[in-house]
Amino acid sequence: MKPATVRPFEDDDLAGAAEALTAVHASDGYPVEGIDDPKAWIRSADVLAAWVAEADGQIVGHVSVMRAYGEDAVAFWTEQSGEPATHVAVLARLFVVREARKQALGERLVQAAVSHARAHGLRLVLDVMTKDRSAMRLYERLGWREIGRASHRYGADQSIDAVCYVSPDA
Ligand SMILES: CC(C)(COP(=O)(O)OP(=O)(O)OC[C@H]1O[C@@H](n2cnc3c(N)ncnc32)[C@H](O)[C@@H]1OP(=O)(O)O)[C@@H](O)C(=O)NCCC(=O)NCCS
């Protein structure tokens, strides 16, 4: 068995990434709002760059860097830092299928996004639902810092608690 790789997303990865996302939604309820169209959710027009984790020819993980678009984390960080929103991007769509977890693929995906953002003069922020404990542990282990709390609204009238983080200084 070849070691898993983390590499930039290619167009041919879309079907595999959508399949992995569907599996993660079934196992973890991520994202909470559900996914009517997994391919469109992964390839949103706001995606600036994306990476996948691949093991034995299968896409087992994904992350993207997305344009800042009014997220609570962006508002917290621009207010606290005085930086314009044009210098901020959002780490999003991070997932690894259950069978491939605890091999540092989540860590490598986050580090790929952070390195890319630094190279482009962007500071990354994100929000994570408080139910997604392993994701929160991962961000904190990698030096991300809490910058605020928010309530994520979805569906007709549902809401769930979220924590906003900023990536560590270079
Ligand atoms: C969050 C998520 C991406 C983490 O993926 P992952 O590939 O398991 O992440 P890592 O392997 O880097 O780290 C996970 C754990 O494995 C441990 N680990 C990493 N490499 C290891 C190894 N070689 N041997 C044993 N343990 C290892 C880490 O220390 C970490 O432990 P902890 O959870 O006790 O803190 C994954 O759990 C997931 O997809 N969750 C559902 C979706 C989600 O919540 N997304 C976040 C949205 S904001």
CB-defined site of ligand 1, < 6 Å: 24, 28, 30, 94-96, 101-107, 126, 128, 132, 134-135, 137-138
What pLDDT digit, counting tens, does each position of 23-65 carry? 999 999 999 988 999 999 999 999 999 999 999 999 999 999 9
Q: What is the mean pLDDT of the segment spanning 140-149?
A: 98
Distance 138 CA to ligand 1 centre (A): 6
Indicate whether 16 pLDDT > 90: yes
Mutate to test the pocket of ligand 1, among 60, 134, 152 (most ligand atoms within 8 A of CB): 134
What pLDDT digit, counting tens, does each position of 91-119 carry? 999 999 999 999 999 999 999 999 999 99
Q: Where are the beta strands (DSSP E) in the chain?
A: 5-8, 47-55, 58-67, 88-96, 123-129, 145-154, 158-166
Indicate whether 161 pLDDT > 70: yes
Q: For 5-166, which CATH superfamily applies?
A: Gcn5-related N-acetyltransferase (GNAT) (3.40.630.30)
Indicate whether 15 pLDDT > 80: yes
CB distance 53 to 61 below 8 Å: yes
pTM of the model: 0.97
Domain locations in the chain as residue ranges: 5-166
